[in-house]
Structure 1
């Protein structure tokens, strides 16, 4: 067995998402399993080079996980010919310039979303990457959630017949930060720092809808800042300038309609923090992060509307659980493995920077729809 080492500059892994999902649960998890098998006795061994602005945080993190390479000098890391891949999990405002540097240095690029603050910037990155001939990818992790993989299995098997509609509910209550610590960083609520639930979540909804049901052809959105005053990490109050809730209606190619509510100011009365209900002529399903329930037309009850008497049936008990039938790995790790195979073995991979640009476009048009109070057509994104 031979080991092929690939060195990865990981920028922004001192943040919550970059650390937990990308470093610990993806790259380090691949190392813990002995590397990524490539076939013919070859194993890929990822070697992270931690990059960031806070020297003490990088040093402590490296020591905690037995890593030896870290740097606050991005230029020097990108100038190192042995570094093959650049990964970005920084705040959005810092992402574009760093990715441009990586592309200019000839590195393959893998990045969190949104890839840029606007469509023009996102398309520029995709065009630069294509012109440079590098391999590039954008994180689209929710496609790899067990619940959505079960849902995809149902779609591919023709369970729904004609899909009529999709209804999504996402969100939870994020504490204001005064009497309980907020679960999200304060920059998420400042538009000037790239915050807002639309720019955070609409890119997710774009690829989920696009991959499972069809391209989004129009968007009607209403956004809100329900909690106008919050407290930051130092306990100081600040005015929230970004939206913390968005209510969107999306027309899909083929005629289906999707409605998705996203909010950081909602208390959860669902089985999971995100759930999608799909209704079709032959059956319906409700999919969350891990679980998926179905109701076929042959087993659909006959509810009768009568507000004068209490309900005597449990509607949730009328659904059937979809079995796992396989083992589901961490979604971020699964996509990392696909991207690494794409880089070193040339295997297909279509979640690229152009796909990332589609997500930025939908967020941009969603905000415009809310500001103008009208439905906005979504043109197909082309390089």
Structure 2
């Protein structure tokens, strides 16, 4: 058995998502399992260096999770040939420039989305990476959720027959920060800092829709800022300049219609924070974050509309759970392992910076649709 180390610059992991999903549940978990298995007794061991602006935060985070390397000097880390991969989970407004530096330094790129604050910026990153010949990938974590892996299984098996429509409902109540701390950072609600739920979530909906149900042809979107004033981390009131809810319809090239509600100003009365219902001629399915349930054509009940009597049906009992039939690992960790194998062994990894640009494109077009109050077509992206 032999183990190969691979140096990874991790920029911006002091934030909530970077710490929990990328550092603790992905890289640290991979290290604790002995690395990524490559076959024939070979393993790939990630050796991260944590990078950021606050040395104290970096030191505490590194010591808490057994990481020996940290730095506030990104340029020095990029100059070190030991570091092969550059990972970025900074706020969106800082991401593109740092990725450009890393591409220029010849590093392979893995990053969170949105990859840039505009389609032009995202496409530029994809073009620069291709010209430099560096491997690149974008986090598309929801594709690896247990529920959506089950949903993909149903799609591939022909369970639905012809898919007619998809209903996607995401969100929860994010506290305003006055009498209860908010669960999201205040920059999420400032447009000038790259905030807004359209920018944040449409990047997700693009890869989920494209990979499971079909390519997006057009979008109609209505955004809203339901909570106009919030309180930040220091207890100061500020004006919310970004949207905290979006109500969208996506038309797919194959005729499927997708309705997508995204909100940080809604209280949850459904199975999970995210539910996706797919209706087809032969059957329907509803997925949360982990579970997926189905109702086939032959098991579909025949309710009738009668508001004059109590409802005689327990609709939720009329669905069957899709079995796991597999062991599901953390979605972020699964994609990290795939990207590490892509870099080390050249295994396939289709979710590159160009795919990330498609998410930014849908966000831009959603904002355009809201502004112009009309359906907007989604053109092909060319480098």
TM-score (norm 1): 1.00
Determine the C-alpha separation between the residues in 1 that align with 2:223 and 2:64: 41
Q: Deviations over 1:31-50 (max 9, x none)?
A: 11111110121100000000
Distance in 2, Cα, partners of 1:141 & 1:128: 24
1:186 aligned residue: 186
Unmatched runs of 5 consecutive residues or more in structure 1? none
| C-alpha displacement of 1:382 | 2.1
Query: 1:273 Cα deviation (Å)?
Result: 0.3
Q: Which residue of 2 aligns with 1:176?
A: 176
Q: How does 1:214-253 map to 2 (within 5 A)?
A: 214-253=214-253
Report the Cα offset of residue 312 of structure 1: 1.1
After TM superposition, give the deviation of residue 64 of structure 1 in Å: 1.1
State the distance in 2 between where 1:41 and 1:292 align.
36
> What residue is the counterpart of 1:97 in the other structure?
97
Identify unmatched segments of 5+ residues in structure 2: none
Aligned equivalents of 1:93 and 1:313: distance in 2? 50
Where 2:110 maps in the other structure, the secondary structure is strand
How many residues end up aligned between the 2 structures?
Answer: 383
Q: Deviations over 1:146-195 (max 9, x none)?
A: 00100000000000000000000000000000000000000000000000
CA positional deviation for 1:253: 1.5
What residue in structure 2 maps to residue 319 of structure 1? Answer: 319
Please tell me whether residue 349 in structure 1 is matched to residue 349 in structure 2. Answer: yes
**Structure 1 CA distance, aligned partners of 2:9 and 2:353?**
18
Q: Matched residue of 2:258: which SS?
A: strand
Equivalent position of 1:149 in the other structure = 149
Aligned residue for 2:29? 29
Q: CA deviation at 1:347?
A: 0.2
- Match in the other structure for 1:376: 376
Match of 2:262 in 1: 262
**2:67 & 2:373 partners in 1: Cα distance?**
51
Query: Distance in 1 between the 2:181 and 2:381 partners?
Result: 40
Residue number in structure 2 paired with 1:212: 212
Residue of structure 1 equivalent to 2:286? 286
Could you list the per-position Cα deviations for residues 128-163 of structure 1 after superposition, in whole angstroms to 9, with x for gaps in the alignment?
A: 000000000000000000001000000000000000
Structure 2 length-normalised TM = 1.00
Distance 1:382 1:178 in 2: 46
- Say which SS state the counterpart of residue 305 (structure 1) adopts: coil
Kindly state the Cα deviation for residue 63 of structure 1 after the two structures are TM-superposed. 1.1
Q: What is the distance in 2 between the residues matched to 1:65 and 1:307?
A: 58
Q: Give me the whole-angstrom Cα distance separating, in 2, the residues matched to 1:10 and 1:215.
A: 32
CA distance in structure 2 between the partners assigned to 1:367 and 1:242 by the alignment: 11
- CA distance in 1 between counterparts of 2:241 and 2:372 reads 18
Between the aligned partners of 2:282 and 2:381, the Cα distance in structure 1 is: 33
Q: Which runs of 4+ in 1 moved over 2 A?
A: none
User: Helix, strand or coil: the match of 2:284?
Assistant: strand
1:293 and 1:197 mapped to 2: Cα distance?
28
Alpha-carbon distance in 2 for matches of 1:116, 1:215: 22
